[in-house]
Homo-oligomer: A and B are copies of this chain.
Amino acid sequence: MNDFVTLNHGSGGKASSEMIQEIFIKSFGQVGDILADSAILDIQHNQIAFTTDSFVVDPVFFPGGDIGKLAICGTVNDLAVSGAIPRFISISFIIEEGFSIKDLKKIVNSIAKQANLANVKIVTGDTKVVHKGKCDKIFINTTGIGVFQKDLSFISDGSKIAFGDKIIVNGTLGDHSMAVLGARNELDFKVAVESDCTCLNHLIKDALDADIQVKFMRDITRGGLATILNELAILTNKGIDIVEKNIPVNESVRGLCEIVGFDPLYLANEGKFLMVVHPNDANTAIDFLRKNPLGKESKIIGEISADHPKMVVGKTEIGGKRIIDILQGEQLPRIC
């Protein structure tokens, strides 16, 4: 095998099949006939969740993760916050001619490791290679299937949300965005932040199985907390009140945001979710989440309000109020 990816690796012929055997099967294991057009899966559930994401993060390696880890966690988390148990993943690569085989192997190993941790199976895939300069190193699409053990569709449709329900986040915001920004080496200083990129499905399943009335979940990715809260306000036709000082933000991220002029509320995360719970269960939920390392900085940040329907209002640290709008422009392209 060469040191670099060539156009032949995307031909569907001998080089493609060698790459599948020597790189993908070695890491992912073999499921069924790898050359078959489709994976055939036994699904003993009548309701499934289905989600897709393409990952174009720049750079492909960053503190706390890489594009492969991101591709698994992103899709696993999308399934998990819908209340589904993530089960099967398809993976599709678009690779630039000349990309290093060593880096490809690192990424593939990272994918295999995360899939293993999250207990999902990679069951089908595709590889395309384009000429040098026609894509930026490597893009990855993952598409996932999860199953429902009971009807939890309310977890994503918001239909059980009521006034007074508490809004929780499971930790600090903005770490992923700032870690990626730092890795771009466009700043004159070092950024001491790691991405929060992680698979949240086990924590979420435990929370859904616990004695807590969880009414809604969503992961806080592109658009950041502000955008997710606005989508929730519109979805439920209710207002949302946020206490800004309760929103957990890492000190380095806060400082960095002040320097570069970003608002942590609009930054993408890859290991954070928003959870809406019955007010009686809010403290129990916090205690429960904090027992898990992925939730140890969980906080109640606000509540569903009978005032200002469809609007998100933040109480600022000096006691004022501001409307928190949906993200208008793009703070940081290619963050995932």
Q: Interface residues, chain A, CB within 8 Å of chain B? A: 7-8, 10-17, 32-33, 35-56, 58, 77-79, 81-82, 84, 88, 90-94, 123-126, 128-131, 133-136, 139, 141, 143-146, 148, 153, 156-157, 218-219, 221-223, 227, 231, 235, 266, 268, 326-331, 333-334
Contact = CB atoms under 8 A, between A and B. Distances in A.
Contacts of A124: 50-52
A121 to B, nearest CB: 10
Nearest to A57: B128
Contact of A126 (B53, B58, B136, B153): B53
Contacts of A49: 38-41
B128 A56 contact: yes
Contacts of A131: 333-334
B52 A90 contact: yes
Contacts of A36: 82, 156-157, 218
B130 A90 contact: no
Given A16-B222, A32-B157, 14 more contacts: A8-B328, A11-B327, A15-B330, A36-B157, A37-B81, A37-B82, A38-B49, A38-B78, A39-B50, A40-B47, A40-B50, A40-B153, A43-B45, A128-B334
